[in-house]
Structure 1
């Protein structure tokens, strides 16, 4: 497996963690299950802490992009 394929797989896994985390928080709301709260929080945590490294997605880069386009 090439390095570019590995990076692409990691990007997909990070987004998948976000969606599964949101679903688990929904299940926590419906079932009042602490397990789903913990699991959902951990999944969303993976997205939060890995998004800048692999997805190049951060609030600072989004704000910089808007300021550059306005000039």
Structure 2
């Protein structure tokens, strides 16, 4: 497995953590299971803390672009 394949696998893993985290929060809401709350929070935390490093996805950069597009004059 070369470096590019490892990075692609890491990207898929980070997105998978987000989706599983959201699902676990849904299960917590339905079953009131503290385990699913903790697990979902950790999964979403992985996405939050690693998204800028591996995904090049930052909300700050999205807001900068939208402000540039909304300027008048």
TM-score w.r.t. length of structure 2: 0.88
The count of residues paired between Structure 1 and Structure 2 equals: 71
- Partner residue, 1:37: 37
Give me the whole-angstrom Cα distance separating, in 2, the residues matched to 1:6 and 1:45. Answer: 21
Long gaps (5+) in structure 2 = none
SS in 2 for 1:51: helix
Rg (Cα) greater in structure = 2
- Partner residue, 1:57: 57
Query: Residue by residue, what CA displacement relative to the aligned partner does 1:16-56 show, whole Å, maximum 9, x if unpaired?
Result: 00000000000000000000000000000000000000011
- Partner residue, 1:3: 3
TM-score w.r.t. length of structure 1: 0.90
Once the 2 structures are TM-superposed, how far is the Cα of residue 11 of structure 1 from its aligned partner?
A: 0.3
Once the 2 structures are TM-superposed, how far is the Cα of residue 65 of structure 1 from its aligned partner?
A: 2.6
